[in-house]
Amino acid sequence: MLERTLVLLKPDCIQRFQAGEVLARFERKGLQIVGLKMRQFEKSLLEKHYEAHKERPFFAGLVKFMGSGPAVAVAIEGKDAIEVVRKLMGKTNSRQAEPGTIRGDLAMSFSTNLVHGSDSPEAAARELKIFFPDANELVAWKPSNLNWTYAVEEELK
């Protein structure tokens, strides 16, 4: 029921001062932040994160871009959080992303596209471990108004 997923605010998001805007969109939706970390992430970590793409022609450029400046790793929790986050992000190519989505509203590029979000439960578990290797870095907490965000009896059993 409740899922956790990894979001990255990519270096372009930080350089363009959109971190607050993007985080606010997740929060306004009703998703919960359970971990937050700003770093200029090192190459080896980014290569591991994107290892599914290592044979693709854009891999080297992607890793270089992701390490080119500070980024923010965010652990997000909510019911069906993985799919909900992906929907809020919009299509990979920002020019094709629907208005109303983060990429559709705030970005113009295919590769420099503001955010990452895990695309499956397996990816979420793997990626959360890469960016938050110490379980103590994730904070379990229960919003006091959870019953106004969800029909708790129906949806959070």
Residues near ligand IDP (CB under 6 A) are 58, 62, 92, 110-111, 113, 116, 119
Which residue out of 113, 116, 118, 127 is catalytically annotated?
Answer: 116
Residue 70 and residue 34: Cα distance in Å, rounded? 20
116 catalytic? Reply is yes
Residue placing its CB nearer to Mg ion in the complex, 59 or 150:
59
Choose from Mg ion, ligand IDP, none: what does 5 bind? Cβ within 5-8 Å by kind: none
CB of 16 to ligand IDP, least distance (A): 15
Burial bucket for residue 114 (CB in 10 Å: 0-12, 13-18, 19+) = buried
CB of 48 to ligand IDP, least distance (A): 14
CB of 62 to ligand IDP, least distance (A): 5
For residue 31, which of 92, 93, 87, 95 has the smallest C-alpha distance? 87
DSSP letter at 91? -
Choose from Mg ion, ligand IDP, none: what does 114 bind? Cβ within 5-8 Å by kind: none
Instruction: Report how far apart, in Å, the C-alpha atoms of 151 and of each of 58, 83, 87 are.
Output: 43, 19, 21
CB neighbourhood size of 34 (10 A): 19
CB of 49 to ligand IDP, least distance (A): 10
For residue 63, which of 72, 74, 53 has the smallest C-alpha distance? 53
Residue placing its CB nearer to ligand IDP in the complex, 122 or 153:
122
Residue placing its CB nearer to ligand IDP in the complex, 7 or 31:
7
Residue placing its CB nearer to ligand IDP in the complex, 110 or 150:
110
CB neighbourhood size of 24 (10 A): 11
Catalytic residues, which ones?
Answer: 116
Return residues touching Mg ion (CB under 5 A): 119
